[in-house]
Amino acid sequence: MAMQERTQVGIIGAGPAGLLLARLLKLHGVESVILEARTRDYVEARVRAGVLEQGTVELLEEAGVADRLHRDGLVHDGVEIAAGGRRLRIDFRDLVGKTVTVYGQTEVTRDLIAARLAGDGPIVWEAADVTIHDIDGDRPRLRYRAGDAERELACDFVAGCDGFHGASRPSLPASLVRTFERTYPFGWLGILADVPPCSDELIYASHPRGFALASMRSPTRSRYYIQCSLDEKIEEWPDARIWDELALRLGSEPAPDITTGPSIEKSIAPLRSFVATPMQHGRLFLAGDAAHIVPPTGAKGLNLAASDVHYLCRAFVAHYTRGNDDLLHAYSETALARVWKAERFSWWMTMLLHRLHPEASFEAQMQRAELDYLASSRAAQTVLAENYVGLPF
């Protein structure tokens, strides 16, 4: 017989979605247990997103985990788009009166784990073989293995925050779930290095050799990406080859001064758009990458996890404090309305900036026309800025 524990909300996954949900729930007096498949070291070392929307920053403030973010995060008033040998600055502050903050997902995760472990409640690391039971009833259960012990967690609700490859989405009844997917015929090769960034702001470059992005984590740590084909292997990309390729693709006027150095992390990620709908059934609610994926071009993935969590937390709090389940019933619809707009923006920015078609094709001509329009129209720049800093939630 498995050892049984009990909590109010059983959370699967200690990524940003699960950790932020647990933190916000605790601040409203709602208890949770987080089950995480990996070790703390693994979760804290994972290199991922870098750009936080203003709304995400505000949510982290509300969660009381924004001190280090305010100290070390870099507030950016705009981004640059390099194309056709020119650089165009999109001025967020001027166009929409908002900013974004560059602060690594790794740091957000560390701040949230530290807050959790300072007394908020447990995280079960290396929780293996998590299965979800009785989501149609009013007492769902999570079964899992911790070391050699079989355990069971009885809860009121289950929050599936276990990312794209987790156990939650497959636990929704297949007959009720619809999925929408777009894969892209290229990936992103990312490199992290302890060298100063080549520019004060991010540069998104559209180049005949392929897309490139200059990003950063701090004044001394740079993050770069280049579009690569899906069959390429990381071994084919020694550091020197990446730096040479970046210099070519980012080399529009004025050419940024790229400081090179040894990579401390290097990886290739495929690009994908994906939405599962509905994001809930019975007492199981999905949030973040468990329900949807965006290509990284719009910097939206982590921010969507944050807005899902905002809606879900609000709904749980209404249940526990007012006995009102309207927000819980509306959760999927509410979250998806914002998700689809971020999907649209990420897809649009991906299609605009990547090399997809021969230079002489109609499609490549459409990209050039759109970039030219963006350069000449304040209205077009405002659309980009409004979406990049994040639609309201």
| Catalytic positions, written as ranges | 76, 204, 296, 300, 388
- Residue 350 in contact with ligand PHB, rule: CB under 6 A: no
Q: Which CB, 84 or 278, lies closer to ligand RFL?
A: 278
Residues within window 299-318 making contact with ligand RFL, judged by CB under 6 A = 299-303, 305
Residues within window 202-231 making contact with ligand PHB, judged by CB under 6 A = 202, 213, 215, 223
Token pair, residue 37, equals 């498949």
**Which ranges constitute the DSSP H helices of 116-238?**
none
Do residues 4 and 154 lie in contact, with contact meaning Cβ atoms separated by under 8 Å?
A: yes
- Residue 51 in contact with ligand PHB, rule: CB under 6 A: yes
Q: Which of 187, 210, 288, 390 binds ligand RFL (CB under 6 A)?
A: 288
- Residue 227 in contact with ligand RFL, rule: CB under 6 A: no
Q: Which CB, 155 or 246, lies closer to ligand PHB?
A: 246
Q: Which CB, 19 or 81, lies closer to ligand PHB?
A: 81
> In the bound complex, what is the minimum distance in angstroms from residue 67's beta carbon to ligand RFL?
21
Query: Considering only CA atoms, which of 333, 342, 266 is closest in space to residue 301?
Result: 342
> In the bound complex, what is the minimum distance in angstroms from residue 227's beta carbon to ligand RFL?
12
Q: Which CB, 105 or 252, lies closer to ligand PHB?
A: 105
Length of the chain: 393
Q: From CA 55, how far away is CA 320, in angstroms rounded?
A: 25
List the single partner that 167 binds among ligand PHB, ligand RFL, none, CB under 5 to 8 Å by kind. ligand RFL
Task: Say which DSSP state 255 is in.
Answer: P
Give the distance, in angstroms, between the CA of residue 109 and the centroid of all CA atoms in the same chain: 12
Q: From CA 35, how far away is CA 184, in angstroms rounded?
A: 32
Total of residues contacting ligand RFL (CB under 6 A): 37
Do residues 242 and 193 lie in contact, with contact meaning Cβ atoms separated by under 8 Å?
A: no
- Residue 297 in contact with ligand PHB, rule: CB under 6 A: yes
Q: Which of 161, 216, 336, 385 binds ligand RFL (CB under 6 A)?
A: 161
> In the bound complex, what is the minimum distance in angstroms from residue 55's beta carbon to ligand RFL?
11
- Residue 289 in contact with ligand RFL, rule: CB under 6 A: yes
Residues within window 115-154 making contact with ligand RFL, judged by CB under 6 A = 127, 130
Pairing verdict, β 157-160 and 9-12? parallel
Give the distance, in angstroms, between the CA of residue 43 and the centroid of all CA atoms in the same chain: 14
Site string for ligand RFL, 58-77 (x = CB under 6 A): --------------------
Q: From CA 345, how far away is CA 332, in angstroms rounded?
A: 20
Q: From CA 215, how far away is CA 203, in angstroms rounded?
A: 7
> In the bound complex, what is the minimum distance in angstroms from residue 217's beta carbon to ligand PHB?
7
Q: From CA 13, how far away is CA 289, in angstroms rounded?
A: 11
- Residue 375 in contact with ligand RFL, rule: CB under 6 A: no
Q: Which CB, 49 or 153, lies closer to ligand PHB?
A: 49
Return all residues near 118 (Cβ < 8 A) that are at least 6 apart.
Answer: none
Query: Residue 128: exposed, middle, or buried by beta-carbon count in 10 A (0-12, 13-18, 19+)?
Result: exposed
Token pair, residue 354, equals 């990547």
- Residue 190 in contact with ligand RFL, rule: CB under 6 A: yes
β-sheet bridge partners, residue 81: 88, 204
Tell me if the bond preceding 197 is cis, omega within 30° of 0. Answer: no
> In the bound complex, what is the minimum distance in angstroms from residue 384's beta carbon to ligand RFL?
16
Residues that bind ligand PHB (CB under 6 A): 49-51, 202, 213, 215, 223, 296-297, 299
